[in-house]
Amino acid sequence: MRFFKYHSLGNDYILLDALEAPLKLAPADIQMLCHRHLGIGGDGIIVMEPSDRAVCRMVNYNPDASQADVSGNGLRCLAKHLYEMGIHPREEMLVDTPSGIKRLNVQTTMGKVSSVEVHMGSPDFRCSSIPMRGGEEEAVDVPIAAAGRTVSATCLAVGNPHCVLFLEDIDDALVSELGPAIENHPLFPLRVNVEFAQVIDVSEMRLRSWERGAGETMASATGACAAVAAALRTHRCKRKMHVRQPGGLMEVEVRPDGDIVTRGPARRVFEGTLDEDWRERSRIILA
């Protein structure tokens, strides 16, 4: 089976093509492919499938085999693949995802995609959209007790669910302790992504992301969207922000109509072919 390896700001994905023939992946297959010692290694898997209303449909799996509704960085990687492989060599494209149709615009240099603009849609602060227990209509600057601490959080959905924490400083211990504790908190029946945000000024923030099913990643586009939308809602920033993540810099803009747009690079790292017996070997080792 042929595969492609991409990343956007270090958030890396294995891309598989199922446009011509269906592809069935068992949970053990996904876990093995994403395993950084036993498989290819990645923060997730992108499967391209046919769509009758867009260029293709993107199905996105986390390393624990759960399915993500959407990935902004994954969309960037997919756009680069669609353009450079000649599948859809146009600067604007629509991609079908479980959270709806997403519009992408690619910027090119000498025929290669250098940056991709992704329209992520509007944030939804309703607790029912996350979902989040508690009875409140919205969770904006609310206290959450986890890992022996009580932190102030703003929760929202941007294609997938996020819990944003605004902090004076972000250290490794905080991320490693609070990340899994809040991801699996009883308040979030379907788990949640956790964003650790430090606002530098009204135009810049630092961000570290703990993604459900993946742990900490070098970057998260939906996480950056959630952090900026939450910062704007709580009067901490302007509409356009530079978000600094461990993998690099991303630009996020919340437009007056509510649409959130992210801008950032995508890179293809390598491609290859899996051995015919990869499934059998992976199931033995991971059992």
Kindly calculate the radius of gyration of the chain based on its CA atoms and give it in whole angstroms. Answer: 18
Residue 190: exposure state from Cβ atoms within 10 A (0-12, 13-18, ≥19): exposed
pLDDT at 285 over 80: no
pLDDT digits (tens, 9 = 90+) for 257-281: 999 999 999 999 999 999 888 777 5
Contact 116/71 with Cβ under 8 angstroms? Answer: no
From CA 136, how far away is CA 140, in angstroms rounded?
10
User: Is pLDDT larger for residue 286 or for residue 185?
Assistant: 185
pLDDT digits (tens, 9 = 90+) for 28-74: 999 999 999 889 999 999 999 999 999 999 999 999 999 999 999 99
What secondary structure letter does DSSP report for 248? E
Q: What is the pLDDT of residue 26?
A: 92
Q: What is the pLDDT of residue 229?
A: 98
pTM (2 decimals)?
Answer: 0.94
Domains belonging to the chain, first-starting first, are: 2-121+266-286 (3.10.310.10), 127-258 (3.10.310.10)
Q: What is the pLDDT of residue 77?
A: 98
pLDDT at 186 over 60: yes
**Encoded amino acid at 258, one letter:** G
The separation between the first and the last C-alpha atoms of the chain, rounded to the nearest angstrom, is 22
Strand, helix or coil at 143? strand
